[in-house]
Amino acid sequence: MELIRVKDYEEMSAKACELVKELMNTVQSPVLGLATGSTPEGLYEKLIHTYENGAISFSNTKTFNLDEYVGLTKEDPNSYHYYMTEKLFKHVDLKEGNAHLPDGAAEDKSQACEDYERLIKSAGAIDLQLLGLGMNGHIGFNEPGTDFKSRTHIVTLDESTRQANARFFNSMDEVPTEAITMGIQSIMEARRVVLLVSGEKKAEALASLVNGEVTETFPASILQQHSDAVIIADEGACSQLR
């Protein structure tokens, strides 16, 4: 793992943008793995500016998001489909059919998981997978205890994850209890993973990831075994590193 220490959220987003831009300008048909949540918002703003300045184009890019809530339609403002449309897709020249998220509204959810894995495979492999870090060590929605061999699957969200994400909903009751997420194995098959971590509230989790043992009870620890894992973390996030 390579750890890039930066000053703050702004620098973290700028560094991540640089890595994505470099990939998009070297690979002919890039495949990007995307994340939602608060952490990548600054990166998405910077990617939009970079696109507007003519320095990147998404016209040959395919994207695969990590996860989606079960039970929310694409139009639901709390769905990750909606988030991605608002924060990135509608502002750039990504072709609609090239943007993929798990189908949380599918009637047959197991089939939706299998279909998603097949789609990723048919794109070749993910060139760069962006990740955020859950305070409990989750990546995607792979909660503590998830099998390292897991592929896209349905998960029951941890109560702590539901509480952490409740800020986006009107009330706790509205926060979904399940999600479809790419599995740990699906994430590990990406050629490069880039984990963004910002703020003191993530410091303990980052310290466990960097200094702790590799264990399924802390899913992100598996990144220690990835051959090209880059962590971009700001001062707050690095404050508990040994």
Between residues 98 and 161, which has the closer beta carbon with respect to ligand F6R? Answer: 161
Pattern 103-142, ligand F6R, x by CB under 6 A: -----------------------------xxx---xxxx-
Pairing of strands 62-65, 99-100: parallel
Q: Catalytic site residue 93?
A: no
Q: How far is the CB of 197 from ligand F6R (least distance, A)?
A: 9
Q: How many residues bind ligand F6R, per CB under 6 A?
A: 14
If one counts every other C-beta atom within 10 angstroms of the C-beta of residue 147, the result is 13
Residue 102 touching ligand F6R (CB under 6 A): no
In the complex with ligand F6R, which residue's Cβ is closer, 139 or 175?
139
Q: Is 76 one of the catalytic residues?
A: no
Please pick, among 68, 127, 143, 189, the residue that the annotation labels catalytic: 143
Answer yes or no: 147 catalytic: no
Pick 20 or 35: Cβ nearer ligand F6R:
35
Binding ligand F6R (rule: CB under 6 A), the pick from 67, 103, 127, 234 is 67
DSSP of the chain, one letter per residue? -EEEEESSHHHHHHHHHHHHHHHHTTSSS-EEEE--SSTTHHHHHHHHHHHHTTS---TT-EEEESEEETT--TTSTTSHHHHHHHHTGGGS---GGGEE---TT-SSHHHHHHHHHHHHHHT---SEEEEE--TTS-BTTB-TT--TT--SEEEEPPHHHHHHHGGGSSSGGGS-SEEEE--HHHHHTSSEEEEEE-SGGGHHHHHHHHHS---TTSGGGGGGG-TTEEEEEETTTTTT--
Q: Name which of 3, 60, 66, 78 is nearest 35 in CA terms.
A: 66
Task: Name the minimum Å distance from CB 25 to ligand F6R.
Answer: 25
Nearest-CB residue for ligand F6R: 132
Of the residues 11, 115, 136, 235, which is catalytic? 136
86 is an active site residue: no
23 vs 35, beta carbon nearer ligand F6R: 35
**Range 26-45, binding ligand F6R (CB under 6 A):** 35-39
> Residue 52 or residue 161: which is nearer to ligand F6R going by CB?
161
Residues with catalytic annotation?
Answer: 67, 136, 138, 143
Binding site for ligand F6R (CB under 6 A): 35-39, 66-67, 132-134, 138-141
